[in-house]
């Protein structure tokens, strides 16, 4: 239904339309334009179709003065307010109403088929738009009925933003070791020995073979710090060794343990 705050729009205007008094419907087959006196219309004027809200209004007005002759409110189309006749596409039956709510049925007809086509299309477009608006409104209401996510701050709730702190921390870290961006040495100050594939110099630590030979020499040393060379080649660091005769008397080793250091 139309409300007071809604504005009225014009859907279609046709300057020539004829109005006929029609006899009561005799059967359920519908109205026939051939039963009307088509050569002698009861009134002639213009038709103006307007829309206010969801309701369309078919207004029959005088061509010169614009005085309203009759009006037919249409709430749906096709419907009881407008009916087609069974024998022509240029004639229709309208249910007109006055301000007191009284209604009557009259026949209207167009001299041109194009005018009748425009009459049909203007009403179809209006109620198609009304249907789309109703569906959009129902979808919006169904979407609003669902649970809503509360993203607002509660009372006393705060948020902290650290802007620019990351850059400042990186800058202090890069300048912590002399300003050259080098990391400090690990705790203990120990440095891993270089690999055997690299060039050797006097500052490198002794290799594993030399360390083992020194340990063996220290075990085999006597009070006079003399070392007896073994019969094995010098390339074998696991050769036999014996102590000096001046410090410890020599005793022949058992046969079953003579080569205990050989693998």
pLDDT at 147 over 70: no
Give strand pairing partners of 12. Answer: 49
The mean pLDDT of the chain is 74
* pLDDT score recorded for residue 28: 75
In angstroms, the CA 9 to CA 87 distance is: 32
Supply the pLDDT for residue 22. 92
| Residue 226 binned pLDDT confidence (cut-offs 50, 70, 90) | very low
- Position 71 confidence tier, pLDDT thresholds 50, 70, 90: very high
pLDDT computed for residue 79 by the predictor: 87
- Please state the φ and ψ torsions of residue 167, each to the nearest 5 degrees: -65, -40
Q: What is the pLDDT of residue 225?
A: 46
Question: How confident is the model at residue 68, as a pLDDT?
Answer: 95
Question: Which pLDDT score, from 0 to 100, does residue 251 have?
Answer: 55
Residues 8-140, CATH architecture: Roll (2.30)
Model-level pTM greater than 0.75? no
Residue 119 neighbours by CB under 8 Å, 6+ apart: 12, 14, 47, 49, 92, 110
pLDDT-based confidence at 169, cuts 50/70/90? Answer: low
| 52-65: average pLDDT | 94
Strand order in the sheet with 82-84: 68-74, 55-61, 43-52, 8-21, 103-109, 91-97, 82-84
Which residues is 72 bridged to in the sheet?
58
What per-residue confidence (pLDDT) applies to 223?
Answer: 46
**How far apart (Å, rounded) are the C-alpha atoms in residues 94 and 106?**
5
pLDDT in tens, 98-134: 988 899 999 999 999 999 999 999 999 999 999 998 8
Give 140's pLDDT tier (boundaries 50, 70, 90).
Answer: confident
């Amino acid at each position: 239904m139309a409300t007071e705050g809604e504005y009225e729009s014009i859907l279609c205007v046709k300057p020539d339309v004829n109005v006929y008094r029609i006899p009561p419907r005799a059967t359920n087959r519908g109205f026939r334009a051939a039963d009307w006196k088509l050569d002698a219309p009861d009134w002639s004027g213009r038709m103006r179709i307007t829309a206010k809200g969801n309701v369309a209004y078919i207004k029959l007005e005088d061509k010169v003065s614009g005085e309203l002759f009759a009006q037919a409110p249409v709430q749906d189309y096709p419907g009881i307010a407008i009916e087609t006749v069974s024998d022509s596409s240029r004639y229709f039956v309208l249910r007109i109403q006055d301000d007191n709510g009284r209604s009557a049925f009259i026949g209207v007809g167009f001299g041109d088929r194009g005018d009748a086509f425009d009459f049909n299309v203007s009403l179809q477009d209006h109620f198609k738009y009304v249907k789309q608006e109703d569906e959009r409104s129902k979808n919006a209401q169904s979407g609003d009925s669902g649970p809503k996510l509360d993203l607002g701050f509660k009372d006393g709730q705060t948020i902290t933003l650290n802007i620019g702190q990351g850059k400042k921390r990186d800058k202090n870290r890069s300048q912590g070791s002399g300003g050259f961006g080098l990391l400090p040495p690990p705790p203990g100050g120990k440095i891993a020995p270089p690999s055997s594939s690299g060039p050797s110099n006097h500052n490198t630590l002794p290799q594993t073979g030399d360390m083992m030979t020194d340990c063996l020499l220290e075990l085999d040393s006597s009070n006079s710090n003399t070392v007896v060379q073994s019969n094995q080649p010098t390339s074998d660091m696991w050769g036999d060794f014996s102590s000096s005769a001046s410090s410890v008397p020599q005793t022949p080793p058992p046969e079953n343990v003579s080569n205990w250091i050989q693998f």
